Chain A
Amino acid sequence: DVVLTQTPPTLSATIGQSVSISCRSSQSLLHSNGNTYLHWLLQRPGQSPQLLIYLVSRLESGVPNRFSGSGSGTDFTLKISGVEAEDLGVYYCVQGTHAPWTFGGGTKLELK
């Protein structure tokens, strides 16, 4: 199985601070069809996960543009440019290039 390693496991930030989360894969996530099936999700406390970024860098409709994704191959990054209170929760990366689909262990974003 593909292992997705997220760092850091916990992130403390102040409102307005910019932060980054890393997701490193044990295998390249470049599919033979040319797509890289790496998405980013946010799970707020008591809620279901929601999609933020899909295919590495595409912003889901309705998601604020302070969120951005980048990377290729095995190394991916989610950046939040100016944390807001509503951004608190657990962030997950998920890959769908290789079966079984797998999730990263999560990064909990807290207020400092």
Chain B
Amino acid sequence: QVTLKESGPGILQPSQTLSLTCSFSGFSLSTYGMCVGWIRQSSGKGLEWLANIWWNDDKYYNPSLKNRLTISKDTSNNQAFLKITNMDTADTATYYCARGLGHYWGQGVMVTVSS
């Protein structure tokens, strides 16, 4: 059974760095072809793909936020991570991790940026 679960700080101040963790089970990020991605959804809005990391450590970033994003993984502990620098109120959203092109999703973690 594939499961993913996001964790993060919940609330942070403008200009701070957001650190998110995706803990997963039921698959390995060392398996050929596997990838985990991060997606966000602002309240009442649509979905925005942020970044992917692949089994071979290839990384993909959405160009609209590329300079602010860093994705990484810990294969041994079945985790993937996302850092977003210089957070702004516009980054307030629910952040999801997903396996592949949305085959499996976590429950999401709400992140609020407020002073």
Which residues in A have some Cβ–Cβ distance to B below 8 Å? 1, 37, 39, 41, 48-51, 54, 60, 92, 94, 96, 99-106
A-side interface mostly: loop
A100 vs B63: C-alpha distance when bound (angstroms): 7
Inter-subunit contact A49/B101 (CB<8 Å): no
Least Cβ–Cβ distance between B110 and chain A, in angstroms: 12
The interface on chain B, measured as residues whose beta carbon lies within 8 A of the other chain's beta carbons, has a size of 19
Inter-subunit contact A99/B106 (CB<8 Å): no
Known: A54-B103, A99-B60, A100-B60. A48 touches B96 (CB 8 A): yes
Inter-subunit contact A101/B49 (CB<8 Å): yes
Inter-subunit contact A105/B103 (CB<8 Å): no
A49 vs B105: C-alpha distance when bound (angstroms): 7
List the B side residues contacting A54 at CB < 8 Å: 101, 103
B31 interface residue (CB < 8 Å to A): no
Inter-subunit contact A48/B47 (CB<8 Å): no
- Most A-side CB within 10 Å, residue of B46, B48, B62, B103: B46
A100 vs B62: C-alpha distance when bound (angstroms): 6
Inter-subunit contact A49/B47 (CB<8 Å): yes
Least Cβ–Cβ distance between B26 and chain A, in angstroms: 14
